[in-house]
Amino acid sequence: MDQQRSLPVPEGLSGARVDVGVARLLGLSRTFATTIVEQGGVSVDGVIVGKSDRLHANSWLTVAWQTPRVLSVESVVIPGMNIIHDDEDIVVVDKPAGVAAHPSLGWTGPTVVGGLAAAGFRISTSGAAERQGVVHRLDAGTSGLMVVAKSERAYTELKRQFHDREVTKIYHTVVQGHPDPLRGTIDAPVGRHPHSEWRFAVTADGRHAVTHYETVEAFVGASLLEIHLETGRTHQIRVHMAAQRHPCVGDLMYGADPVLAERLSVTRQWLHARELTLRHPGSGEWVSFHSEYPGDLANALTMLRNGS
């Protein structure tokens, strides 16, 4: 821990939750304050406390934490990143593959946040410095629709909608083989892979994850599926389909056949965020957005339809 503060609890915070009090006293975000508490960095009168414990006036609060690494946002114009919609509250982006949502450790490529900055968009200042305005994410190798908050009210409202599962996200993916049944639900927890830092897996101690799928079209050795996500875990679709032994075509990280991927000229997972429906944070009206398949996915689909 490279920072530590010790101070008395003021009368105004008597009875407040520990995470709330830490955030207010030190000017930290609620999320970061909660992380500090969960890592055992907060004590009251020398006793380590939990986030839901309550503070008492005049007790002595000690907080120790590691300064998070600040990731810079590089402003780079991104070819192929189309703006689907733009108003004072939100901007909806059609993200190409090879672009991450925001900077992160281990990623040195272009980002949606950087691309919007380069294009002159003003986005919400809410959220961590490197991902301000980002209310949900797509994997770098996944193309399709993302909404980014421009106003502070949009950020707060969209985060709530995603948290409460009010946003409808529809993906299309081409998987190997033919799922049986052709329509179904995969309810299996997703967590970190026990032997790989960058992969995820269905694990007993993972987070609750539910994926609904329906076969749209079947080909020789592959199927086009429509996916409705009930939850939004990292790599959820990829992990769930691989666990059913139907990995996304081209998804070599999760066991896809490299020969099939090469034959179809697919160099990433065949996975596309096709539709996005949400309640507009300004007007309150429901709005929907649609994205066409990018060239690499459309070409692979044509080859499958032609029986190549």
Q: Which residues are catalytic?
A: 139
Q: Over the chain, what HEC string results?
A: CCEEEEEECCHHHCCCEHHHHHHHHHCCCHHHHHHHHHCCCEEECCEECCCCCECCCCCEEEEEECCCCCCCCCCCCCCCCEEEEECCCEEEEEECCCCECCCCCCCCCCEHHHHHHHCCCCCCCCCCHHHCCECCCCCCCCEEEEEEECCHHHHHHHHHHHHCCCCEEEEEEEEECCCCCCEEEEECCEEECCCCCCCEEECCCCECCEEEEEEEEEECCEEEEEEEECCCCCCHHHHHHHHCCCCECCCHHHCCCHHHHHHCCCCCCCEEEEEEEEECCCCCCEEEEECCCCHHHHHHHHHHHCCC
